[in-house]
Amino acid sequence: MNDSKFLNALKLKPNSTPPIWFMRQAGRYLPEYQEIRKNYSNFLDMCKEPKTCAKLALQPIERFDLDASILFSDILTIPDALDLGLAFHEGEGPKFSNPISKPEDINTLISFDENKLSYVFNAVEETTKLLPTDLPLIGFCGSPWTLAAYSIEGGGSKDFKKTKNFMRDHPSALHDFLEILCDACYRYLRQQVLSGVNALQIFDSWADLLNAQELEIFSLQYTKKITQKLKSDPITKNVPIILFEKDPKQKITDLIFDDLSCISLHWKNDIEAISKSVKNNIAIQGNLNPMILSESDEIIYQEVQRICSIMFEYPGFIFNLGHGITPDINPQKVQTMIKAARE
């Protein structure tokens, strides 16, 4: 892995061109993914088949010139292991049949047992068997706040009203739940490293629900606890950690702390201003608006090269989208994006 452009960037080592991978790179926009997906009635059933997950993780690697692979899984595996009854309904996304609706539900939660997620760790092992030896594998988890939001809301939502009400009415109980999720995230990521991942990303997908003060109290303090545990653990202390905060209300520079190797920027963030502010002290990943991939090749080229020209002299730059790719994107547009970033 000494020649990995992706790992070099995370160490702030310069590359001739930026390493490239992108969020949700294995997924519904690929016809080869759809061929496998149609064999499963339920998305979660597919996620619990390690060999299938390995094949899915490899699909974008075989199709595109990428510098990292990411584990094929879902961020909601931890609440599922807490017996909240996760299921994926076609056209509706994830739903929990046993959500957290009152403080007493937290008191009666079963203890987190990472052995319930052995299918994830087996998927890591199967994926590393198939990957080129010089290509790193990224493991991940959802942030405690994001996992709590899904668990209380009972699934995705436009306004997360139940979660916001729970935060207002039962802050102490919410903190108890976040502590449980924090410990589970650490143990989950640790086991992913033991199984073979080379870097870790924490997705705070619902950071935008919180104002700046709430983000610090209910999200960032728990993310920091996870990274502190990882950096204090001999197994995981040298594994780089990337943090993705979706459109946070805080300044990005206020989200950076010592244990992070990289901050992954949402597409609304000003990558030029941020790169000047952090002054080469942390790797930066991002941040093309995924919707640009619906535009003409000319516009894709313009936007990709605008970002790459801004970050040309930044030693720890990783080209990525500023959010996950959407299912409607033509894979040929991805090819155009990658070609533009390589020039």
**Is residue 281 packed enough to be buried (19+ CB in 10 Å), middle (13-18) or exposed (0-12)?**
exposed
**Locus of tokens 């390690």:** 50
3-state secondary structure at position 88: strand
239: nearest Cα among 317, 140, 147, 319? 140
CA distance 139 to 152: 25
Convert 118-172 into a string of H (helix), E (strand) and C (coil). Answer: HHHHHHHHHHHHHCCCCCCEEEEEECHHHHHHHHHHCECCCCCHHHHHHHHHCHH
- Which residues are known catalytic residues? 24, 28, 37, 74, 150
What is the token pair recorded at 178? 């976040």
Q: Which of 7, 25, 95 is nearest to 66 (CA)?
A: 25
